[in-house]
Amino acid sequence: DNDIVLDFFAGSGTTGHAVVDFNVQNNKKYNFILIQINEPIDLQSPAGRICKQFRLSSITDIAKDRIKRAIKSIKNEKKDLFTNNEIDIGFKVFKLNTSHYKQWENYHGDDPGELEALFDEMKTPLLPNWKPDNLLTEIMLMEGFPLDSRISNLKGISKNKVHLIESESCGHRLLVCLDEKVYSETIKALDLADRDIFVCLDTAVTDTDKARLSDKGLIKTI
């Protein structure tokens, strides 16, 4: 159990489909990783015209849709297995993308006003319209936590949403809050071990809050 089946050329997702079916039929907990270049489909071909009807424009879209349909079919046919929500046959999709952080560009001009404007722009390190879930994944990877880390909401916190990230491959925990303000009640309730890391937006905490958090563990601000 808990072994990982890797398909580096996933195609239409046959490997993932097979693992999902095998797990349910044999009460196993095998995991799968599918890797596929986002190759476009020829929507003018006979098969492509069918894909177009289902709004599938790439090989990756076909794989995701196939596994979703397989899971839906299993849930409809074996409803008794999911009465207590103990079985998780879902999957996550990750794609290579640009960073959420602004990249510093060296200035080669001689206009102090332009340089000052560049510094002002970098006061906010994140690109506009960043999405919390995607930024959380990037923070997790930057801090050395793998994609299969366990992510949950920290219990006992009412005013903020604090993500708790844990992994057997890391000897500490990662706590992340991406709210616009971290309340004093949250800071007081945080129970950080010596090696735990707490990450939040720099504008979400005052200097006093940072001092209080540093007494509890390692704090990193964005």
Are 10 and 37 in contact by the 8 Å Cβ rule? The answer is no
* Gap between the Cα atoms of 178 and 182, Å rounded: 9
Write down the mean pLDDT value for the chain.
Answer: 89
User: Which of 82 and 144 is assigned the larger pLDDT?
Assistant: 144
At 136-162, the pLDDT tens digits run 999 999 999 998 899 999 998 989 999
Question: Domains of the chain by range and CATH?
Answer: 4-82 (no CATH), 127-221 (3.40.1350)
pTM of this structure: 0.76
* Gap between the Cα atoms of 17 and 32, Å rounded: 10
Q: For residue 86, what pLDDT is reported?
A: 62
At 119-133, the pLDDT tens digits run 777 778 888 889 999
Are 91 and 16 in contact by the 8 Å Cβ rule? The answer is yes
In 33-94, which residue ranges form alpha helices assigned H by DSSP? Answer: 46-53, 59-77
Q: What is the largest CA-CA distance in the chain?
A: 71
At 20-68, the pLDDT tens digits run 999 888 888 899 999 999 899 998 999 889 999 899 999 999 999 999 9
* Gap between the Cα atoms of 200 and 212, Å rounded: 14
Confidence at 214, pLDDT banded by 50, 70, 90: confident
